[in-house]
Amino acid sequence: MLIWVGEVDEGLAKRFLIAIWIILLALVAAGNLFWTPKGVHGILLGGVVAGINALGIWRDIRRLVRLRNVAIYFIGWTARMVLTILVIATLVMKFPDKFSLLGIFIGITVVPITFLVLVFQMQIIGRKNKKEETDK
C-alpha cells in the first residue's frame, strides 16, 4: 500500500529529536526547582522513554518511505508501545516510591510540547519569509 510519495525532511527530523532532549532537560531543571525528587524521577523516566520512542518512530518513518509499506510502521509502533508499557509498569511496580505517575505523564508530554514549539517556529519563519517577499 503506497501512502507516502516523496522524501523525509532530514533537517526537520534532526531538529525535532534534538529539541526533545533540550525540552526534557528544561523540564527536569524546572522540576528540580519546584518539585520533589520523586516527581523529577518520573519526568526523567517519561521523557527518556518518549525520546527513545521518537527515535524509533523516526527510524520507522524512514523505513516506511523506503519500503512503501505501512505495515512496517505499525508493527514497529506496536512493538514500541508494548515495550514502553512494560518498562514503565515494571519500574513503577519495582520501585513504587521512586517515580511519580504525574511526573511520568509530564515527561511523556515532552514530544507533543516539542511538536508545538517546532510548529510555532515554522509559522514564525513562514511569516518572516512572506514579509520579506512582499517588501521586495
φ, ψ at 80 (rounded to 5°): -65, -40
Domain boundaries, the chain: 13-130
Retrieve residue 73's grid coordinates. 510502521
Report how far apart, in Å, the C-alpha atoms of 117 and of each of 8, 34, 42, 46, 56 are.
20, 23, 22, 19, 21
CB atoms within 10 A of CB 44: 19
Of 11-25, 31-45, 118-132, the range with the lowest mean pLDDT is: 118-132
Convert the pLDDT of each residue in 85-120 to its tens digit: 898 899 889 988 898 889 889 888 888 888 888 888
Short-list 62, 73, 67, 71, CA closest to 12:
62
- What are the grid coordinates assigned to 27, written together? 523540564
Collapsing DSSP states into helix, strand and coil, what is residue 136? coil
